[in-house]
Amino acid sequence: MQYRNLGRSGLQVSVVGLGCNNFGGRLEIDQTRAVVDKALDLGINLFDTADVYGGAGKSEEQLGEVLKGRRDQVVLATKFASPMGDGPMKRGASRRYIVQAVEDSLRRLQTDYIDLYQIHRPDASTPIEETLRALDDLVHAGKVRYIGSSNFTGWQVVESHYLAEKHNLEPFVSAQNEYNLLDRRIERELVPACDKYGVGILPFFPLASGFLTGKYRQGEEPPQGARLSGGPMAGRVLNEGNFATLGRLENFAKERGHTILELAIGWLASQPHVPSVIAGATKPEQVEANVAAAEWTLTPEELAEADTISKH
């Protein structure tokens, strides 16, 4: 397993991280334990969850339970700001809510500190300076080690960095956004902004919700229970253009003795602005496949060809 610094911080994270959004929802506690055990065995140290994952904090609760006695082996990352109930009092990025949210997450995770505390999405109703000051206080109190953003745009990352620098506050060291061979929108503005200010990018949905595993086929019904078996995401991903790109990418990988999954994760892990790829798993075998995929470091020529294919 490779380890890389998260942005310009000294925090080292495994090149493959474990996305924990399935814990507490799709997975029972024993299944979660099996996935976590395998991840630790393979050297994964970045475990990424959120207060809303699994519904009403269940992912955090399961993760806290299975990490008992092993807390010092992991970089524990969670998020706040998404709705945890009805009304304005259970969401957002205000100082009042952050102070409450972090205590709730600490209790569920059964820990006294969070390694990486991330704002899950921008909160238009709260000035970002208020959010940064509250997070800075948490760092100085020892409840949080580092802070990051998620789903921010390039200009929001720049604004946050400017205010942190101006007021001598803790800056964001990471930006977690959707990024994969089919969705490269963040390369326009977010990637240059993060490169400029030393922010590490943590891609989520590296497999485009499973599309880049090859299990979806044009003209065939999606596998039962799969993420893209219905809903708005299915309509956005399962289209003729993406299937055509998938075919070209599969041929590219096959010619080099790899699978499409290995290309999807290996391509992200080969990007200099990506310290860790956040990949979810429901079975230990999937964790193994994700870790093995990151061992493919694409050459500059392979990266250029994959870029050309994926942009068509």
Distance CA 209, CA 283 (A): 16
Phi, psi of 80 (to 5 degrees): -135, 170
146 is catalytic: no
Number of other CB atoms surrounding residue 156 within 10 Å = 19
Distance CA 137, CA 18 (A): 28
Lookup: tokens for 159: 């604004």
Residue type, 77: A
Element (H, E) at 23: none
Number of other CB atoms surrounding residue 289 within 10 Å = 17
Q: Report the DSSP beta bridge partners of residue 58.
A: none
Residues 233 and 182 sit within 8 Å (Cβ to Cβ): no
Distance CA 298, CA 155 (A): 30
Distance CA 280, CA 98 (A): 26
Distance CA 157, CA 189 (A): 10
Phi, psi of 79 (to 5 degrees): -140, 160
Residues 287 and 35 sit within 8 Å (Cβ to Cβ): yes
Which candidate, 18, 17, 106, places its Cα nearest to that of 57? 106
Residues 173 and 208 sit within 8 Å (Cβ to Cβ): no
Q: Which of 53, 97, 146, 216 is catalytic?
A: 53
Q: Which residues are tagged catalytic?
A: 53
